[in-house]
Chains A and B, each alone.
Chain A
């Protein structure tokens, strides 16, 4: 149905407005400069229409209509703000509050809570209705995400994002009536479900019922323990996500302030995950070239995103052998800190507490995977999300906005522009293309901006012509998917191609679990929209553009670690510390069924 070329004229609160046919009253009102209050609605999700806060009056219609899901009709006269509507909305918020554990001062989403905001703006009376909260136990089965059902307003956003956007299908609305709850299969808990820990549910939750499993207490304890050497690494996306939380512009890169803040919090060494992002490109690039040369499994699929990895293990276990064996930058870092760094500085790795700051909840799960102990210890001890770091900075009363800029530790702290764009969808692909081109052609791309893989389109693809000296001109088709629903679409296609013709049209695929990539991660500030994610990503591309070194192979620290410790990309030592293996998992419980790939020695070690 193509209705885009027809428009509808109507009146909203006396303003005449002309909008495309099919527009909801809510969006039409926005265009008329009128904000209808909402609660369950989120601009990036299909409406669940559960709360009723956005009711409006339509002249001539006896029933009130929900603005979020009612399309406009020609000639309507709509009132969004009347005595009746104000009264009903206020009562409604009072009613919803009567079924909500009001714990604002201690709540993870305090200050970001959409219910709190609404209640505040409406001046609700608190004890209008008797409190009716059935005490239900918190879900603490997952190492990544915890759920507090008493704060849940059953808006359904989490279920929508889990099932429609991510197609993970871990959660559902269960039971009926007052007992309606967000639940997993037989309420076994998120940790015993197909949940891939992406945490998108937490970002979309309006009331803090879903949050990360907080590890700030453990980190504080480690920092305050004089015997421990506490080190920290930060993912690319962190540097572009703190600004908005501390009164700076959304998308502003605050890398120097970030380092300063971490030092003031008491971390002994402040590294940067960007360093291992560069390292990842060398390892993964080598793997790709190796597979192209030796006729290995293609397409090669990136492995940086732990949400994607568990998703693959659950829904696409047959893609285990297509997925890069490279650990994610976080885990490469963890393995190197307790080996290379500890050795370099003469520190007993047993005393090292390795912390990472990630935009991601799945990283908490990843750090605890049994495979991630190649240093002889748990490689990464604690993973803090952006939200947790923000909380720690606030707790320490740091004036983040005005902190002087500082730099990272002089070892494993340097990075190139290629590393920083890892935080945005398409960034890993772009970084890989830059270095692979160089490695195959012997010179850099004339223009390092690979625009075809940038932007917020769900699935991006393009073909690169690489005039390789050794292999002749290669036409390499690549694809980038972000958001697991898009990943599913893309992989279904690849699976079909392989089944039908034995091979896929793609040679290299980047998959990030979260819409927008890591800047849209599940550990990022509450309430961010897709548009916010794009702005953060643009910040990273700006940082990249301003950097002197923009290709991973130019990182001097990376060169140094190969020279002093790892030998070369894909070496035996690299494989031992930087590569991993994959499982097949149960769709019902998420538990491991069997190992699908094995950790193998470097191919050219044979």
Chain B
């Protein structure tokens, strides 16, 4: 019920011009406790904007920041672009896969972590890097991965 209210509030904050669509989808996703866009959210957005539902789906599925399946509480986005790759992101990714027990694109069974690959995060100065939600973690080493993940685990 409360969530329904939320969706309505968010819709009302946005005009019906198509240029509002990405911003609207961002907000709907941010408001969802599982950080994703379920069919109801996309359907509501389509209806609000007067756009075909299929088109909104096509748009949402294009952009990597939008998820169409439920995600974990912490979204771990590990940068795999060339600068990070050069400085060892492959090992970091492998360690994350091991530590979390999920492959890239998957969510841990407890709904805590989603592991995603990311293109350049623009923090190449501290490569290899990853983001957990809005926080940047740089100068990563295989050894630090366990620590960082443990810290998140115990924070809950």
Contact = CB atoms under 8 A, between A and B. Distances in A.
B54 A194 contact: yes
Given A171-B54, A174-B62, A183-B58, 17 more contacts: A163-B55, A169-B52, A169-B53, A172-B52, A172-B54, A172-B55, A174-B58, A176-B64, A183-B57, A185-B39, A185-B43, A185-B53, A185-B54, A186-B39, A587-B52, A588-B39, A588-B46
B96 to A, nearest CB: 23
Given A185-B39, A186-B39, A588-B43, A175 B61 contact: yes
B21 to A, nearest CB: 14
Interface of B: 39, 42-43, 46, 52-55, 57-58, 61-62, 64, 68
Interface in A153-183: 163, 169-176, 183
Nearest to A195: B54
Q: Which of A174, A193, A587 has the most CB of B within 10 A?
A: A174
B61 A174 contact: yes
Nearest to A170: B54
A587 B57 CA distance: 14
Contacts of A524: none
A173 B53 contact: no
Q: Decide if the interface of chain A is mainly helix, strand, loop or mixed.
A: loop
B43 A172 contact: no
A163 B46 CA distance: 15
Contact of A186 (B55, B57, B64): B57
A193 B62 contact: no
A186 B68 contact: yes
A305 interface: no
Nearest to B60: A174
A194 B57 CA distance: 14
A144 interface: no
Contacts of B42: 185-186
Interface of A: 163, 169-176, 183-186, 193-194, 587-588
Contacts of A175: 61-62
Q: Which of A173, A176, A185, A587 has the most CB of B within 10 A?
A: A185
Nearest to B54: A172
Q: Decide if the interface of chain B is mainly helix, strand, loop or mixed.
A: helix
16 contacts: A163-B52, A163-B55, A169-B53, A169-B54, A170-B54, A173-B58, A174-B57, A174-B62, A175-B61, A176-B61, A176-B62, A183-B57, A184-B57, A185-B57, A186-B42, A186-B57
Contacts of A169: 52-55
A147 to B, nearest CB: 14
Contacts of A588: 39, 43, 46, 53
Contacts of A170: 54
Nearest to A181: B61
Contacts of A171: 54
Nearest to A179: B61
Q: Which of B43, B61, B68 has the most CB of A within 10 A?
A: B61
A605 to B, nearest CB: 42
A587 B61 contact: no
Contacts of A172: 52, 54-55, 57-58
Contacts of A184: 54, 57
A167 to B, nearest CB: 9
Contacts, number: 49
A170 B52 CA distance: 8
Contacts of B53: 169, 185, 194, 587-588
A483 B68 CA distance: 33
A93 to B, nearest CB: 27
Nearest to A186: B39
B65 to A, nearest CB: 12
A192 to B, nearest CB: 11
Q: Which of B54, B61, B68 has the most CB of A within 10 A?
A: B54
Contacts of B68: 186
Contacts of B43: 185, 588
Nearest to A171: B54
A603 to B, nearest CB: 38
Contacts of B46: 588
A185 B52 CA distance: 9
Contacts of B54: 169-172, 183-185, 193-194
A478 B133 CA distance: 61
Given A185-B42, A185-B57, A186-B39, A194 B62 contact: no
B118 to A, nearest CB: 14
B14 to A, nearest CB: 20
B49 to A, nearest CB: 13
Nearest to A176: B62
A77 to B, nearest CB: 39
A203 B109 CA distance: 45
B152 to A, nearest CB: 29
Contacts of B55: 163, 169, 172
Nearest to B37: A186
A430 to B, nearest CB: 34
Contacts of B58: 172-174, 183
Nearest to A173: B58
A175 B55 CA distance: 11
Contact of B52 (A173, A176, A183, A194): A194
Nearest to B62: A176
Contacts of A173: 58
Nearest to A187: B57
A310 B68 CA distance: 29
Q: Which of A172, A176, A183, A184 has the most CB of B within 10 A?
A: A172
Contacts of A174: 57-58, 61-62
Nearest to A162: B54
A174 B43 CA distance: 16
A171 B53 CA distance: 9
A171 to B, nearest CB: 6
A200 to B, nearest CB: 16
Nearest to B51: A169
Nearest to B38: A186
A172 B54 CA distance: 6
A388 to B, nearest CB: 28
Contacts of B57: 172, 174, 183-186
